[in-house]
């Protein structure tokens, strides 16, 4: 029952991602969680999470997602699971770096919530990695993962508004609601 509730939450986050998130990344997350929750194909689940990170990185670079990225699936069965985990971790840290860098220039509430989502996601990943040495309760992982997915679903694109939505004031970009009062 716990798995069903958790997976239902990810489905909800996928649906919410159409309002302010990235449906591609949320859909890939949905696939990854399916494989990690309901099957023993952990390499496939991890390959989907690698695609999730690539989707977010391409979003920051303002480039389209490339179909050839799916070549990770054959590699997922050739590489040991720890190597796949290392690739995922490297991509996640790049994603985290770009998010902090861009949030520093944007300075919106959505940007801060997005970075908070990534911090929660990192805490989830650390808990999962710790699971290789000790068995954490699945509830512990989901304490971090569920809110991170919710925040990502609502904020992934909401804080990356096109330039026309920003006003220029004293060389600094600010949302119209954050302008200084005279």
Write the pLDDT tens digit of every residue in 87-123.
Answer: 999 999 999 999 998 888 877 888 889 999 999 999 9
Q: Which residue has the tokens 């979003």?
A: 59
Q: Where is average pLDDT lowest: 8-12, 70-74, 153-157, 169-173? A: 169-173
Tell the burial category of 67 from Cβ atoms under 10 Å away from its Cβ (0-12, 13-18, 19+): exposed
129 token code pair: 């990695």
pLDDT at 25 over 50: yes
Q: What is the pLDDT of residue 169?
A: 45
Q: How far apart, in Å, are the Cα atoms of 75 and each of 24, 83, 162?
A: 21, 10, 36
- Rounded to an integer, the average pLDDT of 16-34 is 92
Give the whole-number percent of the chain exceeding pLDDT 70: 82
pLDDT at 134 over 80: no
- Rounded to an integer, the average pLDDT of 143-148 is 93
State residue 168 phi and psi, 5-degree precision: -90, 130
Q: What is the pLDDT of residue 2?
A: 83
Q: Give the three-class secondary structure for 179.
A: coil
pLDDT at 144 over 50: yes
pLDDT category, 167, cuts 50, 70, 90? very low
């Amino acid at each position: 029952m716990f798995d069903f509730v958790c997976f239902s939450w990810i489905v909800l986050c996928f649906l919410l991602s159409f309002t302010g998130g990235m449906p591609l990344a949320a859909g890939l997350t949905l696939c990854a969680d399916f494989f990690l929750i309901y099957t023993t194909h952990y390499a496939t689940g991890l390959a989907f999470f690698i695609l999730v990170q690539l989707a977010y990185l391409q979003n920051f670079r303002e480039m389209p997602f490339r179909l050839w990225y799916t070549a990770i699936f054959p590699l997922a069965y050739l590489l040991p699971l720890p190597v796949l985990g290392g690739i995922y971790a490297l991509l996640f840290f790049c994603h985290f770096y770009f998010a902090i860098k861009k949030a520093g220039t944007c300075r919106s509430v959505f940007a801060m919530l997005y970075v908070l989502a990534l911090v929660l996601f990192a805490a989830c990943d650390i808990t999962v990695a710790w699971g290789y040495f000790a068995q954490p309760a699945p509830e512990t992982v989901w304490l971090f993962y569920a809110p991170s997915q919710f925040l990502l679903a609502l904020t992934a694109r909401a804080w990356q508004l096109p330039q026309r939505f920003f006003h220029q004031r004293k060389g600094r970009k600010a949302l119209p609601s954050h302008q200084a009062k005279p």
